[in-house]
């Protein structure tokens, strides 16, 4: 099932239609759909060759695997008797037998997928790609796609590499789907509240959404996916950090520390005993570029302010650190089919409220589109005051028309009542509205306001779960 990715497909198509040769880098977290995107893009295109690395294997095994893929894709029987001793020999074959075919008019697409495994974690393969690109490949109408999921490798060794500096035409960080696109994975008979719960637990990652059985309830699926010894997502965290980050233990510790709060750079430094200098900032930058965490600067602060705060934005990881990690022994040994209810209990409703706030922050521009002012947004994020944890605004928009939109985010099983009015009025009174600006308010909730709250007209805008999950559908 392939959904969305319209913009990404269009940008790849632009390179394909260009008369020049190009390098595109496609990267993103595990299970996000990178390979599926490239395969769908290449459908119907006559000259397409793709080679995928094998997890954990050394260079010799990678070369053997690529040689087998070459034989299968080219039909060249000679390859059955050829042993490539090194990557130079592989690339020489590619150059002479694929790229130099005189009869070819359409662009040739050459894909190196799971590049970090093909390279066995080292930079030599990237330098070799640079050499062949400069001296042989770019003259032959080629679209070279370098694809991978190890964030530290793809960011440092590929995107920021000296070897490929100035040669990359397109960088595509593949993130989760838009909420409305993710909702398309579900049967229309499932309630919008139920669908939203899935997105708060596993995010909008296509592969995770495909694992949901649509003829089962949310509770049954949660027990099946997370809370049994054979649960398919119970150990996914190990695959995420193994495939994403070279220093996986350190990255995991930093991320786990962010699980339930927005943290400052100093907070993280003290907790992890890492200097706030280049090391920690580099780790945070890589995780942010991988869409694992997000950072925000409070309203009125400059972008480089030390008031910048970091938060874990990956839904699966937040759920894992809260409920799976602390209960691993019980999950591995229990025979109960109702562990989700037993281990999560009443606290899950509270967790959903916090998860919904983070989800709305992550999809702030999607919400702005629903509200009709996406094109005027200058900044979007939380408002917080350093040293004052008692006063925070969930989401604040600064618009170019000098309007500030203050958002209140509530995950309630029923329509929101007038009980919320004192809270939003307090925030309005305490917020330092800049001179010359107007203030509007918005309620983002599952079911919207009840009749009394609607009549009170305390909120200028309302966004419901149905709005969140339907906006992107065509």
Across the chain, mean pLDDT equals: 90
What value does the mean pLDDT take over residues 388-409? Answer: 89
Retrieve residue 91's tokens. Answer: 């690339």
pLDDT at 24: 98
Domain residue ranges of the chain, discontinuous segments joined by +: 6-173, 179-358, 363-470
The 10s digit of each residue's pLDDT in 90-130 is 999 999 988 876 456 789 999 999 999 999 877 789 999 99
Residues in contact with 35: Cβ distance below 8 Å, sequence separation at least 6, in sequence order? 52, 113, 147
Q: What kind of architecture, by CATH, is found in domain 363-470?
A: 3-Layer(aba) Sandwich (3.40)
pLDDT exceeds 50 at position 216: yes
**pLDDT tens digit sequence for 162-183:** 999 999 999 999 999 999 999 9
Per-residue pLDDT averaged across 126-152, rounded?
A: 92
What are the tokens at 425?
A: 């009025």
Q: What is the pTM of this model?
A: 0.89
Three-state secondary structure readout of the chain: CCCCCHHHHHHHHHHHHCCCCEEEEEECCCCCCHHHHHHHHHCCCCCEEEEECCCCCCHHHHHHHHHHHHHHHHCCHHHHHCCCCCHHHHHHHHHHHHHCCCCCCCCEEEEEECHHHHCCCCCHHHHHHHHHHHHHHHHHCEEEEEEECCHHHHHHHHHCCCCCCCCEEEEEECCCCCHHHHHCCCCCCCCHHHHHHHHHHHCCCHHHHHCCCCCCCHHHHHHHHCCCCCCCCCCHHHHHHHHHCCCHHHHHHHHHHCCCCCEEHHHHHHHHCCCCCHHHHHHHHHHHHCCCEEEECCCCCCCCCCCCEEEECCHHHHHHHHHHHHHHHHHHHCCCCCHHHHHHCCHHHHHHHHHHHHHHHHCHHHHHHHHCCHHHEEEEEEEEECCEEEEEEEEEEEECCCEEEEEEEECCCCCECHHHHHHHHHHHHHCCCCCCCEEEEEEEECCCECHHHHHHCCCCEEECHHHHHHCCCC
- Taking the C-alpha atoms of residue 137 and residue 129, their distance in angstroms, rounded to an integer, is 9
Confidence of residue 474 (pLDDT cuts 50, 70, 90): very low
Give, in degrees to the nearest 5, the angle at Cα 177 between 186 and 197. Answer: 50
Q: pLDDT per residue over 309-361, tens digit each?
A: 899 999 999 999 999 999 999 999 999 999 999 999 889 999 999 999 999 99
- C-beta atoms surrounding 432 within 10 Å: 8
Lowest-pLDDT range, 25-29, 254-258, 293-297, 389-393?
389-393
Cα–Cα dist 427/422, whole Å: 9
Query: What pLDDT is recorded for position 378?
Result: 93
| Residue range 179-358 in CATH 1.10.10.10 | yes
- pLDDT confidence bin for 389, thresholds 50/70/90: low
Q: Which range among 284-293, 329-338, 410-419 shows the weakest confidence by mean pLDDT? A: 284-293
Q: How far is CA 330 from CA 218, 222, 340, 351, in A?
A: 21, 15, 11, 20
**pLDDT, position 468:** 95
Cβ-contact 465, 411 below 8 angstroms: no
Average pLDDT for residues 234-245, to the nearest whole number? 81
| CA–CA dist 15, 464 (Å, integer) | 39
Task: Provide the CATH topology of domain 6-173.
Answer: Rossmann fold (3.40.50)
Half-sphere exposure of 459 (CA within 13 A, CB side): 27
Does the pLDDT of residue 274 top 70, yes or no?
yes
Please tell me the predicted confidence (pLDDT) of residue 390.
59
Predicted local distance difference test score (pLDDT) of residue 278:
63
Pick the residue with more confidence: 277 or 269?
269
- pLDDT of 300 > 80? The answer is no
pLDDT band at 137 (very low <50, low <70, confident <90, very high): very high
Residue 473 pLDDT exceeds 50: no
Tokens representing residue 121 in the block: 């974690």
Per-residue pLDDT, 100: 73
pLDDT band at 386, cuts 50/70/90? low
Lowest mean pLDDT among 54-63, 230-239, 290-299, 400-409: 290-299
Tokens matching residue 103: 């009869």
34-92 residue pLDDT tens:
999 999 999 999 999 999 999 889 999 999 999 999 999 988 888 888 899 999 999 99
């Amino acid at each position: 099932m392939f959904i969305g990715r319209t913009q990404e497909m269009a940008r790849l198509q632009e390179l394909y239609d260009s008369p020049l040769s190009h390098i595109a880098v496609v990267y993103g977290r595990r299970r996000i759909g990178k390979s599926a995107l490239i395969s769908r893009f290449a459908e119907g295109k006559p000259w397409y060759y793709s080679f995928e690395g094998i997890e954990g294997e050394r260079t010799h095994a990678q070369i053997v695997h690529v040689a087998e893929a070459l034989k299968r894709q080219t039909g060249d029987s000679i390859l059955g008797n050829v042993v490539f001793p090194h990557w130079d020999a592989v690339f020489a074959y590619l150059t002479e037998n694929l790229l130099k075919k005189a009869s070819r008019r359409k662009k040739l697409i050459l894909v190196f997928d799971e590049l970090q495994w093909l390279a066995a974690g080292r930079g030599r393969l990237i330098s070799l790609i640079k050499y062949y690109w400069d001296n042989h490949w770019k003259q032959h109408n080629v679209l070279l796609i370098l694809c991978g999921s190890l964030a530290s490798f793809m960011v440092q060794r590929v995107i920021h590499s000296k070897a490929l500096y100035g040669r990359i035409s397109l960088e595509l960080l593949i993130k989760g789907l838009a909420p409305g696109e993710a909702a398309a994975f579900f049967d229309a008979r499932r309630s919008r509240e139920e669908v939203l719960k899935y997105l708060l637990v596993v995010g909008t990652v296509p592969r995770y959404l495909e694992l949901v059985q649509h003829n089962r309830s949310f509770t049954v699926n949660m027990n099946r996916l997370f809370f049994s010894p054979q649960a398919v997502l119970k150990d996914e965290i190990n695959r995420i950090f193994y495939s994403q980050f070279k220093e996986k233990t350190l990255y995991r510790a930093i991320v786990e520390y962010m699980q339930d709060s927005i943290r400052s750079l100093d907070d993280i430094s003290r907790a992890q005993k890492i200097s706030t200098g280049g090391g920690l900032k580099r780790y945070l930058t890589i995780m942010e570029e991988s869409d694992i965490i997000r950072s925000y600067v409070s309203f009125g602060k400059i972008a480089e302010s030390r008031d910048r705060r970091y938060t874990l934005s990956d839904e699966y990881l937040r759920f894992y650190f809260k409920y799976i990690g602390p209960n691993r022994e019980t999950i591995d040994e229990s025979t109960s089919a109702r562990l989700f209810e037993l281990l999560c209990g009443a606290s899950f409703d509270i967790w959903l409220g916090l998860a919904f706030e983070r989800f709305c922050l992550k999809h702030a521009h999607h919400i702005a589109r629903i509200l009709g002012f996406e094109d005027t947004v200058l900044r979007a994020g939380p408002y917080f005051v350093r040293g004052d944890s008692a006063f925070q605004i969930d989401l604040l928009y600064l618009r170019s028309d000098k309007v500030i939109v203050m958002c209140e985010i509530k995950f309630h099983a029923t329509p929101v009542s007038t009980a919320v009015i004192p809270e939003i009025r307090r925030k309005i009174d305490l917020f330092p509205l800049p001179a010359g600006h107007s203030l509007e308010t918005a309620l983002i909730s599952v079911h919207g306001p009840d009749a009394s709250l609607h009549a009170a007209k305390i909120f200028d805008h309302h966004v419901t779960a149905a709005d969140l999950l339907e906006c992107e559908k065509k």
